Amino acid sequence: MDSLGHVNNIVYFRYFESVRMAYFERVGFLEQINKSGVGPILATTSCRFRIPLAYPDRVHVGASVRDVKEDRFTMRYNIVSETHAMKAADGDCLIVAYDYHAKNKAPLPDGVRDKIAALEKNDQDLAR
């Protein structure tokens, strides 16, 4: 909570980070860092605040991936308020595959790309 009695804007980005990390684990992107040194790096992020959240509201956060390119993709987020039964915020980010050993961008690992495609084909989440 901030001084105005609602959830501070930085908390929304923490929600985004939590769902982003869960997504990366689900598609094996975090494992790739240990295997090949290639993993995700956040290039840009944004949030559009639609309604204020306040305690004791509960939220549901979803993510989906779009615009998969050779070395990057866009992740979209939604935060939905249970109290208001509507979208409280949405956002997106650009994720780039990064070689943490060579210190430069790299192609998305094929296994990760395939798992993203399968997940996006079959999953129904809040970011759609």
CATH of the domain at 85: 3.10.129.10
pLDDT attached to residue 125: 52
CA gap 45, 13 in Å, rounded? 9
Q: Is residue 34 part of a domain?
A: yes
C-alpha torsion angle, residues 106, 109, 115, 117 (rounded to 10): 50
Q: Is residue 1 part of a domain?
A: no
Q: Is residue 77 part of a domain?
A: yes
Q: How many structural domains are present in the chain? A: 1
pLDDT attached to residue 55: 87
pLDDT attached to residue 67: 96
More confident residue, 78 or 128: 78
What range defines the domain where residue 32 resides?
A: 9-117
Q: Is residue 86 part of a domain?
A: yes
Q: Is residue 112 part of a domain?
A: yes
